[in-house]
Structures are given as C-alpha cells and as structure tokens.
Amino acid sequence: MVKYIQPVTPATADGLTAQVYAQIKRDFGALVEPFTLHAPAPLLLAGLWVATRETELAGEVRRDLKEAVAATVSRINQCPYCVDAHTMMLHATAAHDAAAAISRKRDDQIEDPTLQALVTWAAATRSPGDPTLLAPPFSEQEAPEIIGTAVAFHYINRMVSVFLSETPLPSDRGALKPVLKRMAGWYFSRAARRPKQVGASLTLLPAADLPADLAWAAASPTVADAFARWTAVVEEAGQEALPADVRALVRERVEAWNGESTGLSRGWVEEAIVDLDEVDRSAARLALLTALASYQVDEGVIEVFRTQQPGDDKLIGATAWASFTAARRVGTWLQVPATTLGLPLVSVNRIKPRNGLIKKEM
C-alpha cells in the first residue's frame, strides 16, 4: 500500500505516465509500487524506470546476478519490502537457492560461486574501503550494469521505506512467505525471460550530460545515458521542491557520511537544522531523514513538510532528490580503477544459462 500520496491508476494515467506504465508492464511484468509511487511526478517516474530498466532488466550481465545485488543491497538497507520483491524475482530467474539464502542471511549456502561473489560484494556496498569493493568480482565492461543496479536500489530502498508497507506479499506469515514468493516468481518469470532491447527506454527523457561522480557508468554508453537523464530530472525536481540552502546542507551532510547508521534518535537532525529558519527546517528535516535514516520518516515529518510545500509532486520531488543524493554518494565508493577490477563474471563460472534467461554468453 502506498502511503501519503494519491496513486495514479492505469485508468487515469496519460501522457508520459501512460507511456512509462506500458513499458513497465511489458518489461517488468506488472505495475509495481516502487515505480508507481513516483507517478505524481511523471519525469521522476520516467527517470527511475529508465535507469532501472537499462541496468537491472536489460544488458549483458545475467539477470539473476543483478537481482541478487538488488536483494542484498535491500537487505543491508533493512528494506523488507524490497528483499521480498527481489528474492521473488530471483525465483523468477530459477535461482531458488540464492533467493532462500539471501532471505535467511545464509549467503554461504548459495551454490553458484558467481552469485555468491556478487552477493558478498553487494553486502559491502555501505562499507567504503572494504577489501571486497577494492577488488570487485566483475570486469570494467560489466561494472556499469552491476554498480548501476546497486546505486538504483540504494535509491529505491529509501523511497520504499518512506512510502510503502513492509512487504508486497498478501501475507507476512513466516511459514507462508516462501510459498508466496515462489508463486510470485512463477508469475514474473515470463517477463523475466522475455528479451529486452537495450536502450529502448531512453527516448522517454531528453539527453543530458553525465556528472563526474557517475563516471562508473561510462564504460556502457546506454547505462551512462540512462543515469545522465535520470540525474537531470532528479536535480530539476530537487530545485523545485527544496530551497537552495536546504540542498546545500543535505549535500554537506551526505558527503561526510560513510554508510554508518544514525541510530534511533533524531537528535542529529534537529542539531543539523537548528540554524535554518522555520520554513526551511521542515524541508531539511524530511530531506536529511530520507537520505540518511529513511526509516525515521513518519506522518508527522510528512505533514509538517506539506504545510510549506503542498502537493504530491513536491513531496516526491523532495524525497527523490534526497534519496538519489545518498545513492550517488554510495556510487562514489563503488567505483575503482579499472586495473583493480576482477575477472569477467562468466570467466569465473562459465555455466549454462538458466531456462534461457541469458541472451548470450559474454
């Protein structure tokens, strides 16, 4: 269930929103809430879809590897909704043991060594300087899709924590959940197997320049193009929803952040915003919490923000900008010199594609 905003249904969607909805339904398999919660801001909906499609869904790296990255990043960010959603997608790719192991936090039980290596890497993505990040198990050519998936989910986890419930499943009962995940995986498997044309989503947004901090995407023109377009619309939305001094404060705090948890207290937020005027404090509180402690955003924080910035589009714009600012920060410590990148994933374990899910062997 989406909280705080009025969802845009397929029946009421038009223009860009309708175009994006059609692509999501075709290529992902259903209009899922992590995308549709962005619909009050159609450009942000398109930006997230473009970046996610061209990293997680399309490309040359095996889909199950990228779903494992998505699920593991979600686990370290304590986003149970996304863990459930992307272990379901692992079932859709027939990576059943990986789905179960990631859910149980028993990564050592993953049978495929390539998958296990990627899960170990993804689990370290909030730990800058971790040896796993300094010697990643993928090549320079594979890096844009894999790092791009990780960065996208550091963003998505924050937005989901603010706006969605704890699971996409109809029941959260422990004994029933594995069965429901398998059933959902079967539902999505057809879309997961369907070949996807690389770059097919790019025309949804105008071209833009790739910022320097996203240079990890440069080895793939498609991924670089997708993230450049996404960045442009997020920055525009941030400028419209958040005052300049708020954005400067958030950037300063995020640039000093190294993946650590802020804890349960909100004292750090109130200390950070004390010098702002009353109007800006509500925006800064929401943006800082979304970026660094999204689990602490509640109805009170949202309502105070709305007194200054009414409208679902402004709420989505403020939280999207804050979430993406934090995700970009993570991306800066995932990029490493090409000389330290590991062997290509398929050279580590040249197994046959599961159920034809891989378009070709790299």
With cut-offs at 50, 70 and 90, classify the pLDDT of residue 362.
very low
List pLDDT tens digits, range 248-263: 999 999 999 999 999 8
Q: pLDDT at position 80, please?
A: 95
**Per-residue pLDDT averaged across 108-131, rounded?**
96
- Residue in 82, 89, 94, 124 annotated catalytic: 82
Contact yes or no for 321/235 (Cβ under 8 A): yes
DSSP H stretches of helix in 4-140? 15-27, 33-36, 42-52, 63-76, 80-92, 96-104, 113-123, 131-134
Q: pLDDT at position 224, please?
A: 98
- 71-to-60, 81, 94, 157, 166 alpha-carbon distances in Å: 19, 10, 15, 10, 14
CB proximity list for 80: less than 8 A, separation 6 or greater: 166, 167
Cα atoms in the Cβ-side hemisphere of radius 13 Å centred on 223: 27
pTM of the entire predicted model: 0.93
Contact yes or no for 146/66 (Cβ under 8 A): yes
List pLDDT tens digits, range 29-65: 999 999 999 999 999 999 999 999 999 999 999 999 9
Higher-pLDDT residue of 77 and 357 is 77
Q: Is-catalytic flag, 82? A: yes
CB proximity list for 251: less than 8 A, separation 6 or greater: 325
Q: Provide the residue ranges of all domains of the chain, joining segments of one domain with +.
A: 30-226+341-348, 234-334
Q: Is 130 helix (H, G, I), strand (E, B) or coil?
A: coil
Residue 338, classified by CB atoms within 10 Å of its CB into exposed (0-12), middle (13-18) or buried (19+), is: exposed
With CA atoms as reference, report the closest residue to 96 among 67, 122, 125, 124: 67
With cut-offs at 50, 70 and 90, classify the pLDDT of residue 68.
very high
Structure tokens, 272 = 């950070």
Q: pLDDT at position 361, please?
A: 33
Evaluate if residue 290 carries a pLDDT over 50. yes
Contact yes or no for 333/154 (Cβ under 8 A): no
With cut-offs at 50, 70 and 90, classify the pLDDT of residue 173.
confident
Domain spanning 30-226+341-348, CATH class: mainly alpha
Q: Sort residue 263 into left (φ over 0), alpha (ψ -120 to 50) or beta.
A: left
